[in-house]
Each structure stands twice: as C-alpha cells, then as structure tokens.
Structure 1
Amino acid sequence: MNFSKKGTDAKQKQIKSKKRKLLSKLNVAFFRTILICFLICIIVGIFAGVGVLKGLIDNAPNIDSIDVAPSGFSSTLYYSNGSPIKKLIGSDANREYATLDEIPKNVQNAFIAIEDSRFWTHNGIDIKGIFRAFFNGISQGDFDEGASTLTQQLLKNQVFNGGSESTFIAKAERKIQEQYLAIQLEKKLSKEQILEYYLNTINLGQNTLGVRAASRRYFNKDVSELTLSEATVIAGITQNPSGLNPITHPERNSEKRTIILNYMKEQGYISNSEYKEALKDDVYARIQIVNEKNYADKSASINSYFVDELINQVIEDLQEKLGYSETQAVNLLYRGGLEIHTTQNKKMQSICDSVFSDESLYPSNSKWSLTYRLSVMDSNGKEHHYSEQDLESYFINERKQSSFHLLFQKKGDAKAYIKEFKSHILKKNDKITGEVTDYTIEPQISFVLMNQKNGKVLALVGGRGEKTASRTLNRATDSPRQPGSTFKIVSTYLPALDTKGMTLATVQDDSEYYYPDTKKKVKNWNGEAYNGLTTLRQGIYNSMNVVTVKTLVDVTPQVAYDYLLRLGFTTIYDNYTDAAGNSYTDIQLPTALGGLTKGVTNFELTGAFAAIANKGVYTKPILYTKIIDHNGKVLIDNEPETRRVMKDTTAWLLTNAMEDVVKIGTGGKVRFDQISMPIAGKTGTTSNNKDLWFVGYTPYYTAGIWGGFDNNQSLTDTSFHKNLWRIVMQKLHIELGKEYVEFEKPKNIVAATICTKSGKLAVDGLCDGHIRKEYFDASTVPKEKCDRHVKYRICKDSGELAGEYCPIHSIIEKTFLVKDETGTTADTPYVISSSKVNRTCHIHNASTIYEETKEQTSNPSSDRGNDIATSKEKAEKVKKEEGKEKKKNEKIQQEDEKKDF
C-alpha cells in the first residue's frame, strides 16, 4: 500500500469523489431495504402463522361435541350355564371395557413410564417433550420421535382415526389440532378418566383393543390378575403392535419390556427387587402355551351351526322388536359389546357333536359330493363362470357318460374330471381368474334338540363332517326338505282328532283309492297289500297312506293348512308362483303325505312336534333368553311366544298313538336298548328314499333328525338316521340322569273296548280277534255297538244261509264283515256278499226232507237219522232255537242301553 504524501492525497481525492459518495449511498439504501423487507417478512410470517394456527384451531372439532370414550366392543355369547361360547368381533371392536379400579397400578404405571412420564403434571401437552423431539429432529434429521402425551394419543385414536395422514402437511395440521384439543380435554375430564379411556382404546396386537382384551389374548386371564412382568409385556406392544408382538416377536418385545422396567425403576414405580424378579420371569413361555392351547386351532374361530342360526335370530329380533335397520342390527351385534345368553346346553351339544362326528355310524358307502367354481376371462376381457353343473353336463351330454354324477368314492377321484373339463373350456389366451374346489361328505344329516316345555333349543347340528367356514349352509334351519310321512301327524291326524270329532278308533277303508277327480292312485309304502277297515291308530303306527288321505278328505285341506300355520311353519303356501310363472298351493290332499311346494325345515318340524309333547301348547323355538347391552341394560328379554294349538287330550292321544309307532310300528329302531323310557314319534321317508326323517320325543326332550343327499340322490341305507337318533338320545338321557316317567295323561281321557273294524263298542263273541282297549276324549267315546260284524247260520253243503230244511249237522255259525268292497283287501275273505245274504240254501228243501225221512226209516241207525226223529220236528226245533236266540239278544241290548244311559 502507498503511504506517501502523493498516494495519500490520491486516496483522499478518491474518497471525496462524487462517484464514490453516490455508490456508498446506494449500498446503505440497499441494505436498509433488505432489512426492512426481512422485518416485514417476519411480521407477515408471524401474522400468517397466527392466522393459519387460528384457522386450524377454528377448524378443530368442538371439544363439547367430541366423545373420546372407547367405542366398538366385542359381543360375547354364553352357554345356558353362563360359561362363554365365543366372541363376535367386528372391525375395530375386539375390546372389553375395564374401569380404572379394575386395572392394577403396575399396568397403569407401565404405560405412563414408557409413553408419558409427566402425565400427572402436564396440562395435556408436554412442552419439554416437544422441544426434545424438535431439537433431536434438527440434529438427527429424523422427526419421527414422538412427543405425544396419553391425552394426545387418546384424541388421535378416537377423533383423528388413528393419525393415518399420508402427507407431512396433513400430519402437522392434525398435530396442532390434537395439541389444542388435548389442553381443552384436560379441562373437561380428570386425569383418571383420560387414563381409563386410553387403556381401553389402544391397539395391543392380535386384533385386541384395550388392556382387558389383550390380557385375555396373551395370558388367558383378566387384566386385574396381571403381574408386573405381564403388565410390561403388554405395555411394550403399544409403539408397534405388529413388530413388538410377544407371540411372533418375543425377542423384540423382551427388549422393550426391559426398557419399561428400567423406566419404572428410575421413575420410582417399582423397587430394585421387583425389577430383578420381573426380569427373571419366563413370561414368553406362558404366552406360547396359551396361544397353542387356545388359538392354534383355526377352526375355533369358525361359528358352530348353533351360533350361525343364533346370529340370524338376533339380527331378525333386533329389527322386529327394537326397530333397527339390518345394518344397525349387524353393527350392534358385532361392535356393540352385547352379552347374549343362549339356550345352548354345553354338555348336551358336546354329546351331540361326539355322536354325529362318529363316521362308523353312517352308511359304509358314503361318498364325496363335488362343489366346483371356475371363472375364466377370455381374450376380449369378458369373464365366464362355470359350476359343477356345467362339469356334469359336459360329461353326460358331450362325453355321453350317462352314468356320470358328482359323487366320488374319494376326494381325489374328481381331479381327472376337473382337468379334462378345464381343457375343454379353456381356449388360447384365456386366463383363469378364480377356481374353487370343495367336497362334502354324503349323505348329510341335521339334528335339532329342544326342551318342549319352554321352547329352548338345547343343541343343534347342521351337517356332517368338518365345518370349514361361518354362515354356511345350515341343514337344520336353512334347507327345506320334503317331510314325507312324518308330516301326517301334524297335517292330518292332529286336526282330525282336534276339530272333526274323529278318534283313534275312527275307521277308514284301506283299499285301492284315487285322489278325488283324478287318475292318480294313492299308494301305500308296502304296495298293493291293502288292510281293509283300519283305525286311525293303526294308520299312524303303520304309516298307511290311503288311510291318511281319506282322513284329510274328511278334515279338508283348508283346515289342515290353518293348523300348520299355527304350528309355526313358514315354508308352506296357500298360493306360490315360481320364477317361470307356475302356481302351486299346499292347500291340497298331497299335503297329507308331506307333498309340499318347498318342504319344511327340521327346526320348524321339530318345533311342531314339541307342541304335541307339550300338551298341545306351541312354543316358538328360541336360541337365546336375553340380550344385555354394553351398559348392562336388558335390550331383549326373549320370553318365548306360546299359544294353544290343540286340546291337551288331542296331544295325549297323538302321543299314545305315536308310542305305538316305536313299540310295534315303523319306528322300532329308535327304542332305547340300555334304559327304559317312553318314546313317541313318527318316521318319514319320501319317494325313492331321498329324505329320511324321524321326529320324536320323551317326557324330557323333543328331537328331530333328517338324513339325505344335498343333491337329492336316493339312499340305499334307510335306517342309519334312526340308529343315530337312538344313540344320541339314549346317551343324553343316561348322562343327564333322567329317570323313567310316563307321559302325563289328562283327566278327561277315558278308555273303552272297541272293535277295530267298526270303531264302535265291541261285542263279545262277535268281534273276537278285533277287540282292543282304546282311549278317547270323554266327549268322543262311542255309544253304539259294532255293526260291522254279523253272525249268520250257514249251511256247509251250499255255503248259503241255512234254511228251515237244512239238517243240524250241516249248519254252522260264522261271523262276517258287512261292508262294500271296492277291491281286494285283507277283509275280503270275511265279507259276506249281498247275494249270499239274500239267498237261503238251495240244496235242502221239502223234497230232500222226505227223502231223508225215508232213508231214516229204512236205516234208523244212520248218522243223519240220529239228528232228529222226523223232518217236521227238526224244522220246529230250529225255529224254537232261533226264537230263543233272538229274545236273548234283545234282552242284552236293552240292558246295555240302560247302562250307557
């Protein structure tokens, strides 16, 4: 640098130059402008920030309108003895509420220690935590470290949908509103209430929400029983319910548990000895044992058939009785925290399940039925769908395999057919978009067990074999089948005895018969062997079709239909039109034999028979007794609907007749062979053996069983269902200690000795071989004597009525039936024809008497001569004997009429 005088003068001259002065002024002005702009930006930023903040706060939910109380609770189903069956868990609903006094201090403190150590002192937000998280974020470039208090987490879960924002801006907005509301919430609720809500809200893995549900899931105990070690395991899940799951990631959870125990010790919640003892606890081994024992079996999550139908009934009742929509009813059931007390008897259901899962009790030729679904997208993007019916049609119609069916001896036997069918269907560039192959063991069964006195369904089996999903086909409740002869009792004999004045002694002629005004013959199950004059009792225990149809003609189908409606049947129709426009009705004579438009369910048929067992009072079958809401209020007290459908005498008479079904009729195979117990019931078999039924009852329980193929194939073994009914019912009565008792007989049941060919009072010496003791309602006891049996004096030589000239040794007395035969029956040999009644012996007359007298004179020692001295004496003796017999009979009749009067 030049410091000479000359250099200094030059420097001063440069500084004092106008150019230099102007440049300096410009620089000063520029920096002033920059400073002012900066200050303005700061001020504007501050105001803008305040405005944005105010806007976010203004847009935050109103603290008075939000509800942070946990919502969404699993509903619990209970057996009749109060033990739990299972939980129904909807979306975000596996929660069981626990009050703070039920949650141990160690559980509370474990969460506070790891999540919000200053919980008891802050006002909803933790300022120290916020600054710590901010500076850590600046220094480490990671802003994921949380500073949320328990209050903020509660708001995030209950108000802000768990904080699932997709952008940083949205997350920041939520954080600001969350912090604002946290301060407001702490003014509204106590710390204890906030903590209680929080502990019932948090996600703790394995689809559990809240500490009580988590405690049951991981330790199979109530939260109130948790130890310190167990409490820290659950608290350790909070920050990452998947990654810190103690079942799938025990090592990670163990590290977190150690951190929590350290925090608890540092914060003074536990002592050093408690700390060490907790660390020694082999808690994860217990967790694995609980998991293996209670949750390893995935089938445990599948509803039973009973639960499936229970769900249907509860949803229906919530709509009908409380006015819920279907959606509301479903949400309440799966997320409302209901307690549903069922009628299911745990022990009885277990017995039923054990018996019906025994494959040795089913036909040895059982087969597997194929269910197949195939979806294919062609090269044009159009989707085509195929089923097992398409596969069957292909092999029958295109491959000409007329004997092909969808039943296979083994599951694997269908694979080759499926492969060939797919090769036939698939074209070039076709893409399979879905394929399902399933098998069902056949024949199938269903079973319903009820207490007839109160309508409670005690056990239910909707099918045979493994149940692989919930809400599947329930053959006990969802599958109407033709009931066959079982239906005769409720469709025909019940109204006949109850309304039409008929009795078990009423007689119908079992002979060749056609439905009125048709050419369709009514066929008996045993072919053309007609029994002739038959009482309704015999028609019941021998299941005779002709007797039944003729009885319904007298009853009328309309009367029968009205009774069936009152017995709870919902699948019968007065007028039904199908999709093709064809009309059908069940107000018709074939209804007598179970020929219905759609059929009936086992559930409803068993309920109808239970009404007979219950002395004529129908009780609508129920599967639960009450529903209690989350707050302990009874929503539905399910008192069963009852109504008298028939007289108690009618019920007892039907019961008595159905006892004969078991003792001497078609139901012999259901008789118990280990204990003695009265059983009444009715068998049923439909055409071609497609449906097999037995519905019966003891003085304790009513049970119905159905057997058959889902696709209506014919059965070859037609008695396996009776064996199943006997085995399961006998086991139930033995294991439940049921003692022998008779069906209770009403007081106005009386007995009388009747003739089974006339239904009237029997006459000794006249009705021999057809006499039985029969029971009646007192108002229907017959007053008249048998008029079907008559005795005639017959001449053996001519086979005609004996005349006055017939010799004594040729005359016999013979009992005949008086009836008009319409065909050959078992009565035919004993029916006397009108021609014989109107004709006397054409062999013996006056001339033959003269010859006999002459023969006697020439041969006094002959046998004929010993009969009578002369023909005139003989004739007079016959007339005297006939006169005496006539007077005797008139006297007996007069005495009987006096007794009857």
Structure 2
Amino acid sequence: MKYTKQNIEKQRKVLSSDKVRKNSSVSLFLFKYVFIVSIILIVAGLGLGVGFVRGILKTTPQITKNSVHSKGYITTIYDNKGQTIKTLSNHDSNRIYTPLSSIPKDLQHAFIAIEDERFYSHNGIDLYGIIRATFLGIRNQSLSQGGSTITQQLIKNNLLGIQPEKTMMERLERKIKEQSLALELEKIASKKYILEEYLNAINLGEGTLGVQTASQKYFNKDVSDLTLSECAVLAGITKNPTRLDPITHPESNASRRLLVLQNMLDQHYITKSQYREALRDDVYTRIQKNAAASTTKKNTNSYFEDALILQVVKDLKSKLGYDETKAYSAIYSGGLKIYSTQDTAIQNIADSITSNPANYPKATKVALTCSFTVRAASGETNTYTEHNLLHYMKTHKLGNSLVFQNASDAKETLAKYKHYIKDKGAMIIDETSQPTIQPQISLTIMNQSNGSVEALVGGRDLKTSDLSLNRATTSTRQPGSTFKILSAFLPALDKNHMTLGTVYDDAPYNYNDSNRPVHNYYKGYKGYSTIREAITQSMNIVAAKTISDVTPKTSFDYLTKLGFSTLVSNEFTSNGNVYTDITQSLALGGLTYGVTNMELTAAYASIANGGMYNKPVLYTKVVDQNGNVLLSNKPTKKRIMKSSTAFLLTDAMKDVIAKGTGKDAKLSSPMAVAGKTGTTSNNYDYWFSGYTPYHTASIWMGYDNNTNFNSENTHKKLWAKIMNQIIQTKSEKTKNFSKPSNIVKAKICKESGKLAIKGVCDHDPRGNCIITEYFEKGTVPKQTCDTHVAVEICKKTDKLANKKCPKSERIKKVYIVRKNGSHGKTADTKFLLPKKYQSNSCTMH
C-alpha cells in the first residue's frame, strides 16, 4: 500500500463507515462475553476443585507419630544361651524393629539415593519430583511414574494401607491424601524418626518386612553388618519386591543395584573407589547359597516350641488377663522376645537319637488315623473316622487292628474302604489320613535344680504341622511301676517312719477291697524283702502292702503336691459311676487317666533335687517390643519331702540300674545315676525315669492306640545313649549325689529289717543276711532280729538239745520264723522253723 494523501483519506473513510463500526462492536461484545464466561468457568472449576480436595481431606485420617508406627513384628524365641532358635510371625508381622542407630549409614543413603534424593530438604512433598513424574507420565501416557517421597511411602504403607486404584480419580484421591498427611507428619516428626519407621516398614520380598528381617533372609546376618554392596541390593528391591527379588530374579536386581550405586556416587554418598569395590562384589552367589541353606531348615514348630507357645498363651491369659485371640496375636505379631529354657545342645542330642531308626526294633509298624466327610445319596452329611474303618475291616475280615505292617498296607486298606463308601452311592467331599510310625516315643529332660525343661521330644518321625499331638506334654499314659517310688515308698519313708530296711513278705496277696490278686512281673515270690529290694526288683506285692499301710489318701496327697494334674479324687459320670485314684492300685500306677511325661519327670526331679519340687518351666521371661518384662518365670521351689527321704530313694534307685530291672540304662561313665523302670501289665507302656546329679529325664515308648508289644528294653538303652552323649558333650564332671548330714549307717538283717545278730543272721541257710543300710538319724532299729532263730539239735535224737547233750553231739541250725501279723503265705516255707524243733527236746541225754 502506498501511503499517499489520497490513499490515507480513502482508508479513513472505510474504517469510519457504519458497517465497520457495527462489526467492531459485535467483536468487542463477543470478546467480553467469552472472557467473562472463561473467568466464571475458571472460578467454578477452582471452587469445585477446592470442594473436591476438602471432601477428600475430611475423610483423611488424623495423623500422629504413633499412627505411622508399624503394628506387626516378629516374635523371637531364644534358647537358654540367648541364641535365636525360632521366629514367629503372620503375614503382616515378618519384621524385627531396629533403631536407626543400628542401621548402617550406607543402607540409609542407598534408600534415599534411589527413592527420595531430596529427603533431607523437602517438607514431605518433593515438588521437583512431582513435576518430573508428571512430565514422564504424560510422555509415557501413564500416571504411575512415582514422585512419592519416603514420607509419603511411609504413610501409604502404615496408615492408608496399600489398596487397588482402578481409576485416575482414585489415584488422584490417594495422592492428595498422601501429600496432605506427609506435610502434617513432617511438622510433628523428625527426619530421623520418619526414616527409621520407613526402613522398618518396607516390603523387601520373600515375605520380609523391614531391613533387619531382609538382611537375615538374604545374607544371614544382622543389618548392622551389611556391606555397601549388600545395602544396594536391599535398596534395589523396594520398587518391585517380586520382580526385583534377588533370589528369584538376580539379573533384574543387579541392574537396579547398579543404579542405586550410581545414584549414591552422583549424590556424593560414596567415593569412586567404594563404587568400584562394590561392583566387583559377587554378592548374588552368597545370596543363592544362603537361600539354599535356608530351604533345608524346618518351618514347622518343634515339640518344644509348641509346648512353649501353649505355656505362654496360658500365662498371658491367667496372669495378664488376655483373651485367647489377644494372646495368640501377641505371640505371632507382637514382636515379643521369649527367653526359653531349651538347651540347644541337649535338644539336638535328644532329637538325633530318638529319630534314628537304627535305635528301634526292626518290626516297626504304622498306625492309621483318618477322617472322612461323606455325603449320602439322600443328601445327608456324616463324618467317618478310623473307628468306622476298623468296623469295616472286621466285618470284611481285613484285620482287627489299625496297626499295619507298613504304610503301603495302610494305604491299600484305606483305598478299599473309600471304594466301599462310593459303591454305596455316597460321595467323599473331604478327607484326611495320617499314617504314623509305631511304636512312638516321648522324652522330657529337665534341670532339676530350677525346673527348667531343657529338651522335649513329643514323638518320632517327621513333624508336619504346628500344635499337633505332643506325647511329652499332653498325652496321658499309665505310668506303671515308676509310680511305686512316688505313691508308695516316698510317703512310707517320709511320713510313716519306715526305712529302706523295712521288710514285707513277698507272698501271695489280694487287694484289700477285693479278692483280686496282686501279681508280680516275675514268677513266684521272693519272701521277706526290704523296701530297698522291692525298689531294686520292682516288687508289686511289696508296693501294694506298703501303700496299704501308708493309706492311699496319704499317697494321693503327696502325688498332688508333686504336680500331677490328671489324678482323679472323685469323678461322677452321667451313668452314675464314680471314678477315683485314691485306691491301693495307685501303688502300681493304675490310674483313671494316666500321667504326662513332663509331670512325671518333674516329680522325679524333686527327688533328684533333694526333695525340693520345681514346677516345670519352658521359659524364664517374656519381653515386649519396648523392653518391658511381660512375664517372669522364676523358679518356685517347694519342699515336698525331707532331704533324707530323697537321698534314701536315690540310693535305692542306684541299685535299680546297678543290679536291678534298669541294668540296660547303665551309663558308660562313672557318673552317679539313679532311676526306675515302669511297664504296664498289658505291655502297652514302657517307661524309664532317672537322673544324674545334673539332669532328670523320663522316656516313654508305646503304641498310640494301646497295642501289646515287646520293647526289647529299647527305651532304657535310648535313655542311656542320650544321657551318655549329654555327659560327653557338656563335659560334665563325674560326681555323686550329695548325702545329707543326718544320714547314718547300721548293720541290719535283711530278713527282719532289725539289728543283725552276729552268728545267727549270717548263718541263714540261703546265705548271709547281714547288710549295711542307710538310715535317717533316729530311725535306726533298736530291736534285734526276730526273724531268724538259732537252735541246737541233738544228733542222736534230732530234737532240741538240752544241757546234758554233749557238745560233740550238738548241731547248730538257723531257721526263719513266721512274723506276727504277716499277710499271706510265707514264700520260703521250707526254711521255716519245723514244729519238732519248737518244743520237743532231747530225751536221750
């Protein structure tokens, strides 16, 4: 355009025309309208946004320092030396809380470098990180590019919880809550507190929560001992604990570890030499070795651990008022420290010997238990057990016992039974079956000085489940002759002023309340016998006579004080029957329900402990996560018998092993040892309870379902093997049982229990009857023997010699005489003083 005067005037006229002015007014109106509407929309959008945010914040929980503290932690069980033997957790508690001071700086810096490099400078929200994450999200068409600070991750893990976010609105809502709470948390908590809680909360794969548990899992070491390379491995897991698992995906974790180390170098947390050294570390080979070793460890609780858990649950309920749920929750997620009494060395010995098949009879068999839920054609549902199986077996002539020669026979019979059920038109909708090796075993080993249970074996063969049948603590079995010591001879010596030299006649005898005869385990009778001999040779008749004199009620009271909880005073059944253990058969272990191994061991431990009873304990204390002692299990000694009684019983039970029924339990060392055998009359149960000056142990062997068998003295041999190895492993010095100062010796006649007469008692036709016996001071007999009588016989007339009979014609003979009040028929009748020598004297001289 040429800017001449003419052209300019022409353009001015055009611009000032009515048409142009009209179009300009319309354009200005439209612009104002659009601008105003835009402002209104922006303001409305801001209002809605503010309202939306306010609505979210109203549903956001209040935050405190405690609210972000992890609630579930691993409970650790320690042995009596303070070594970890077991950790307990549930799905949300596999963590061990560790203070930041015990977490190496390299590990702290590794997480900060890869997860939140401006952690120490931001106020809970990293704006630069958010902008960067948003940009990457737009570029990659994804809103999952991160940007969360460590503070936000802590809130997500411990306060808001990890929940699925299906829509963009849900993800936006979660981010707003996280950022709001992050700002609040940073106002009330220090960076140190936030980092400590975060490192104890994060999921690091393989079911581990927190850096301490992960360190033990992957490297088998405490977190404080981690190297820089190992720190980088753990920090690399967090982004994706499954895909970056260093055991299952070492290559992926290695790439992430390289990035962690590079970030640490770039952010000046490490030097180049540290960086190069960490890169050279063959860390994944170590991880694989640790993983291989951990798979060989059993996850199922041991019998000791099962019993320990139950005892802690019981005490939490009775002493602290916990209910069942709270007690178990405390154990499996409360981060408790349970200090057990288990001696790991002794437990390993017990497990090794009792699990070795070579230590058992060759004719090992299998018992079968089973349960079926069956739906009949009519729709009715019933449960069948092994009792139904046994009925089927008997009906179809497949056998009369649920004990099979081997597991294959058991499975074959079970399969036939299942076909039988199905052939009747029924459907099996659920089933469980368990073949169990037989005979079974139980063992308890205690430190008698304080009641600590050092080892438990609740059965042999593989243990496949927690809190299963524990034959040492929950199974009750008839104790047999082990009860003679506790029920008959203990109260006899302790209260009835009897002695080891007290004599009873081992002769035919019936129980007082019936015509039922008492039988010995051996054939025939041994005649006049001392209590020491009755203990050594396990004489049933002498024990029955002794408890009769003691009275069953006195015996029952002693047994109750000795901690037996399964005895029955009077029990009335629904059909009107009355059961009681206050009977004469108590002497031989004939009980309504039987006893547990652990309670029997504790009773014998009281004898070994000089008459002081300690209730068996499986832990010394339970400490909570903050170091407070919740439960304390200090020994509570209680005197049950005199120390002299304990010594006398111990000395007699030394003879049981030296020359009596327990010879198979003799030790290979000169260590002092005492004990008592026990076998039920039907050969269902075999026991040996004994002790050294250090440990008391009881072993039981039998079939779970009461089957007659011959143990071949296996239980005694096992007991000796275990005690021998304990003595050797623990380097225990040989010593004898301590003798109280009020124990004295005296020579007595073993046929009468009274002071021996020299020249008479030592001339018994069966041998010398003079023995040296221990007595409590004040109980030594004052009367001389009245069982033996010496007579002079005239050779010529075979009658009693008189004063006129020449000395050369006299013969001296010793006989026994019948005791006044003796029960039953004297066994040694051929040695009784003949009637012809009782009154008729020589008539020739």
Q: TM-score, normalised by structure 2?
A: 0.90
Q: Which deviates further from its counterpart, 214-223 or 590-599? A: 214-223
Query: 2:786 corresponds to which residue?
Result: 787
- Mark the CA change 1:480 to 1:822 in structure 2 (over 3 Å): closer, same or farther: closer
Structure 2 distance, partners of 1:638, 1:98, is 27
Deviations 1:212-264 (A, max 9, x none): 21111111122222223222211111121112111111122122223333333
Query: 1:255 corresponds to which residue?
Result: 255
Structure 2 distance, partners of 1:503, 1:635, is 47
- Tell me, yes or no, if the aligned pair for 2:371 and 2:433 is still in contact at 8 Å: yes
Q: Displacement, 1:100?
A: 2.2
Query: 2:149 corresponds to which residue?
Result: 149
- Tell me, yes or no, if the aligned pair for 1:689 and 1:718 is still in contact at 8 Å: no
| Structure 1 gap segments, 5+ residues each | 1-14, 850-873, 875-901
| Residues 55-70 of structure 1 aligned to structure 2 (within 5 Å) | 55-64=55-64, 67-70=67-70
Q: Which deviates further from its counterpart, 57-66 or 328-337? A: 57-66
Q: Displacement, 1:417?
A: 1.3
Query: 1:418 corresponds to which residue?
Result: 414
Structure 2 distance, partners of 1:838, 1:357, is 64
Deviations 1:524-578 (A, max 9, x none): 1113x12222211111111111111111111111111111111111111212345
Structure 2 distance, partners of 1:778, 1:224, is 63
Q: Displacement, 1:31?
A: 11
Q: Displacement, 1:434?
A: 2.9
Q: Is structure 2 residue 207 aligned with structure 1 residue 207?
A: yes
Structure 2 distance, partners of 1:271, 1:802, is 117
Structure 1 distance, partners of 2:122, 2:163, is 22
Structure 2 distance, partners of 1:38, 1:254, is 53
- The partner residue of 1:696 within 677, 690, 695 is 690
Q: Is structure 2 residue 672 aligned with structure 1 residue 678?
A: yes
- Mark the CA change 1:760 to 1:164 in structure 2 (over 3 Å): closer, same or farther: farther
- Secondary structure at the aligned position of 2:295 is classed as coil
Deviations 1:85-111 (A, max 9, x none): 121223321212222232223322222
Q: Displacement, 1:636?
A: 3.0
Structure 2 distance, partners of 1:823, 1:194, is 86
Q: Displacement, 1:36?
A: 7.3
Structure 2 distance, partners of 1:579, 1:472, is 30
- Secondary structure at the aligned position of 2:620 is classed as strand
Q: TM-score, normalised by structure 1?
A: 0.85
Deviations 1:669-728 (A, max 9, x none): 1112x3212211110000221111111112222111111111111122340111111122
Structure 2 distance, partners of 1:125, 1:380, is 66
Deviations 1:142-190 (A, max 9, x none): 2222221111110111111234456655544333222111101101111
Query: 1:492 corresponds to which residue?
Result: 488
Count of residue correspondences: 818
Q: Which deviates further from its counterpart, 95-104 or 592-601? A: 95-104
Query: 2:236 corresponds to which residue?
Result: 236
- Secondary structure at the aligned position of 1:67 is classed as helix
Q: Is structure 2 residue 758 aligned with structure 1 residue 761?
A: no
Structure 1 distance, partners of 2:184, 2:707, is 71
- Tell me, yes or no, if the aligned pair for 2:686 and 2:711 is still in contact at 8 Å: no
- Tell me, yes or no, if the aligned pair for 1:793 and 1:801 is still in contact at 8 Å: yes
Q: Which amino acid aligns with 1:362?
A: Y
- Mark the CA change 1:93 to 1:787 in structure 2 (over 3 Å): closer, same or farther: same
Query: 1:75 corresponds to which residue?
Result: 75
Query: 1:776 corresponds to which residue?
Result: 775
Q: Which amino acid aligns with 2:661?
A: T
Query: 2:584 corresponds to which residue?
Result: 589
Q: Which deviates further from its counterpart, 228-237 or 313-322? A: 313-322
Structure 2 distance, partners of 1:125, 1:475, is 59
Query: 2:216 corresponds to which residue?
Result: 216
- Secondary structure at the aligned position of 1:243 is classed as coil
- Tell me, yes or no, if the aligned pair for 2:65 and 2:185 is still in contact at 8 Å: no
Query: 2:514 corresponds to which residue?
Result: 518
Deviations 1:854-900 (A, max 9, x none): xxxxxxxxxxxxxxxxxxxx3xxxxxxxxxxxxxxxxxxxxxxxxxx
- Tell me, yes or no, if the aligned pair for 1:205 and 1:237 is still in contact at 8 Å: yes
- Secondary structure at the aligned position of 1:129 is classed as helix
- Secondary structure at the aligned position of 1:447 is classed as strand
- Mark the CA change 1:174 to 1:505 in structure 2 (over 3 Å): closer, same or farther: same
- Mark the CA change 1:244 to 1:653 in structure 2 (over 3 Å): closer, same or farther: same
Q: Which deviates further from its counterpart, 693-702 or 45-54? A: 45-54
- Identical columns (%): 49
Query: 1:623 corresponds to which residue?
Result: 618
Q: Which deviates further from its counterpart, 536-545 or 306-315? A: 306-315
- Secondary structure at the aligned position of 2:622 is classed as strand
Query: 1:687 corresponds to which residue?
Result: 681
Q: Displacement, 1:45?
A: 4.3
Structure 1 distance, partners of 2:826, 2:165, is 88
- Mark the CA change 1:646 to 1:371 in structure 2 (over 3 Å): closer, same or farther: same
- The partner residue of 2:555 within 543, 560, 564 is 560
Structure 1 distance, partners of 2:59, 2:66, is 13
Larger Rg: 1
Q: Is structure 2 residue 85 aligned with structure 1 residue 88?
A: no
- Tell me, yes or no, if the aligned pair for 1:157 and 1:163 is still in contact at 8 Å: no
- The partner residue of 2:660 within 662, 665, 674 is 665
Q: Which amino acid aligns with 1:730?
A: N
Q: Is structure 2 residue 539 aligned with structure 1 residue 544?
A: yes
Q: Which deviates further from its counterpart, 500-509 or 131-140? A: 131-140
Q: Which deviates further from its counterpart, 710-719 or 44-53? A: 44-53
- Tell me, yes or no, if the aligned pair for 2:505 and 2:823 is still in contact at 8 Å: no
RMSD, aligned α-carbons? 3.0
Structure 1 distance, partners of 2:699, 2:840, is 59
Q: Which amino acid aligns with 2:813?
A: K
Q: Displacement, 1:617?
A: 0.6
- Mark the CA change 1:60 to 1:795 in structure 2 (over 3 Å): closer, same or farther: same
Query: 2:159 corresponds to which residue?
Result: 159
- Tell me, yes or no, if the aligned pair for 1:567 and 1:608 is still in contact at 8 Å: yes
Q: Which deviates further from its counterpart, 283-292 or 781-790? A: 781-790
Q: Displacement, 1:405?
A: 2.4
Q: Displacement, 1:745?
A: 1.0
- Tell me, yes or no, if the aligned pair for 1:497 and 1:503 is still in contact at 8 Å: yes
| Residues 881-900 of structure 1 aligned to structure 2 (within 5 Å) | none
Query: 1:118 corresponds to which residue?
Result: 118
Structure 1 distance, partners of 2:480, 2:729, is 32
- Tell me, yes or no, if the aligned pair for 1:91 and 1:335 is still in contact at 8 Å: no
- Secondary structure at the aligned position of 2:459 is classed as coil
Structure 1 distance, partners of 2:638, 2:248, is 56
- Tell me, yes or no, if the aligned pair for 1:339 and 1:629 is still in contact at 8 Å: yes
Deviations 1:97-145 (A, max 9, x none): 2222322233222222222222222211122333444454445442222
Query: 1:399 corresponds to which residue?
Result: 396
Structure 2 distance, partners of 1:540, 1:728, is 24
Structure 2 distance, partners of 1:430, 1:566, is 54
Q: Displacement, 1:661?
A: 1.0
Structure 1 distance, partners of 2:172, 2:812, is 116
Structure 2 distance, partners of 1:561, 1:296, is 50
Query: 1:344 corresponds to which residue?
Result: 342
Structure 1 distance, partners of 2:450, 2:824, is 48
Deviations 1:598-621 (A, max 9, x none): 111111111111111111111112
Deviations 1:757-805 (A, max 9, x none): 2211111222223221111111211111122222344567876656899
- Tell me, yes or no, if the aligned pair for 2:77 and 2:337 is still in contact at 8 Å: yes
Q: Is structure 2 residue 322 aligned with structure 1 residue 327?
A: no
- Secondary structure at the aligned position of 1:561 is classed as helix
Structure 1 distance, partners of 2:504, 2:95, is 66
Q: Displacement, 1:828?
A: 0.9
- Mark the CA change 1:41 to 1:811 in structure 2 (over 3 Å): closer, same or farther: same
- Mark the CA change 1:495 to 1:170 in structure 2 (over 3 Å): closer, same or farther: farther
- Mark the CA change 1:724 to 1:794 in structure 2 (over 3 Å): closer, same or farther: same
Q: Which amino acid aligns with 2:51?
A: G
- Tell me, yes or no, if the aligned pair for 2:361 and 2:712 is still in contact at 8 Å: no
Query: 1:863 corresponds to which residue?
Result: none
Q: Displacement, 1:442?
A: 1.2
- Mark the CA change 1:166 to 1:767 in structure 2 (over 3 Å): closer, same or farther: farther
Q: Is structure 2 residue 441 aligned with structure 1 residue 445?
A: yes
